[in-house]
Structure 1
């Protein structure tokens, strides 16, 4: 970095160090040539440092993360005494490449936890997205009624700047899946005449 200076005309007709200029020059007119005032080395990376974890987190919160749909079994109506099976439908990880102030930032987002809002006041939080029958891992028993269930997915992430080592994103963000509404009915046994 080179710092230069140049004299300016004062209202007295001279510069601050007494150098005369062309007669009639207005105050503020430049006088003479540019002179080197100082010379130093500057690390330009200090002027544009790589994105910090907090800066990356602000971008992470705005990513178009997958919105996982809530699935339930049996589809449609369910029966009292028969647990309803829940599972998520969609990707649980996604990669993004961003340009942040000229730096290439690669972010890997991963679904960290799943909160199932069952619709009857109960929330179930799991670390896996569940699976359909017969490999179900998330079930819930209901009384008779109509319920609306939904899923909140919590996402964590890692990032690297210009191919550096992975660093954890210092925070999480969430997405809300579309809700699903279903009825839970009570089955009643009815005797019938086998000869009818």
Structure 2
């Protein structure tokens, strides 16, 4: 989304510029901010973002933008229009009328908080990473003790969807989180990955065979999410986060055949 601003300040001590809706008394330019992807792909804005990192400041929205400006006609002076950057309109224009092409001023981190844009996907993702997502419980069957030759069944019966509403700079943002990947560490060096929470006996969709011993298994859950701002259209949160559930410890026993005399 292209942002428009009345003024963009010069770079501060940490390399950040600040966009504002407060224009100078006699503005020379109007400003717009576009992401590097919007500039590289004007139709879809689809590209792989670069690695440029902007400062994270609590309560502020700072992101990398290509800063563009367009000249504004200046007040007439003795019937003549004052030039901006050495270029004046071809004919007299009302003060404040834009003329000429948009030109790139710089690519820089810009604090756009004062423009009050809706939360960006990256901003929502930062909030998503801090949400109190549940730590799914690792369940196994049979509980406590199992037998060699009989697969151990893994599953979780914890909630796998969560809905949160958070306030981001005055915007109400609904975040719907869903457990999308389950990674089961079986405790014997094997890792099982699934896109389902597993089912208990008799279905037993996630199983593992063990040799005799004592093992501690655990479940790491990867969460994906969608979000909407002020009840608007849903969009994907651009990233995932994980939670680690409490481990489960159990023993696997070796059953042995013992011959007995039925007449004793």
Q: TM-score range, shorter-chain basis?
A: 0.7 to 0.9
Q: Is the 8 A contact 1:116 1:123 kept in 2?
A: yes
Query: Any stretches of 5+ residues in structure 1 without a counterpart?
Result: 6-37
- Residue pair 1:2, 1:39 contacting (<8 A) in 2 also: no
For 1:65, the equivalent position in structure 2 comes to 133
In structure 1, distance between residues paired with 2:246 and 2:194: 18
Helix, strand or coil at the partner of 2:232: coil
1:131 alignment partner, SS class: coil
Q: Matches of 1:4 and 1:183 in 2, distance apart?
A: 78
Q: TM-score, with normalisation over the residues of structure 2?
A: 0.58
CA distance in 2, matches of 1:97, 1:145: 46
Question: How far is the alpha carbon of 1:159 from its aligned partner?
Answer: 0.2
Matches within 5 A, 1:7-18: none
Asked if structure 2 preserves the Cα contact closer than 8 Å seen for 1:74 and 1:85, the reply is yes
Question: Could you say which residue in structure 1 is the equivalent of 2:179?
Answer: 111
What's the CA shift for 1:46? 6.9
- What TM-score, normalized by structure 1, do the two folds share? 0.77
Larger radius of gyration: 1
Tell me which residue corresponds to 1:145.
213
CA–CA distance in structure 2, aligned partners of residues 186 and 98 of structure 1: 52
Greater relative contact order (Cα < 8 A, sep 6+):
1
> How large is the RMSD of aligned CA atoms in angstroms?
2.2
Query: Does the C-alpha gap of structure 1 residues 181 and 161 become closer, same or farther in structure 2, counting only changes over 3 Å?
Result: same
Unmatched runs of 5 consecutive residues or more in structure 2: 1-21, 27-94, 98-112
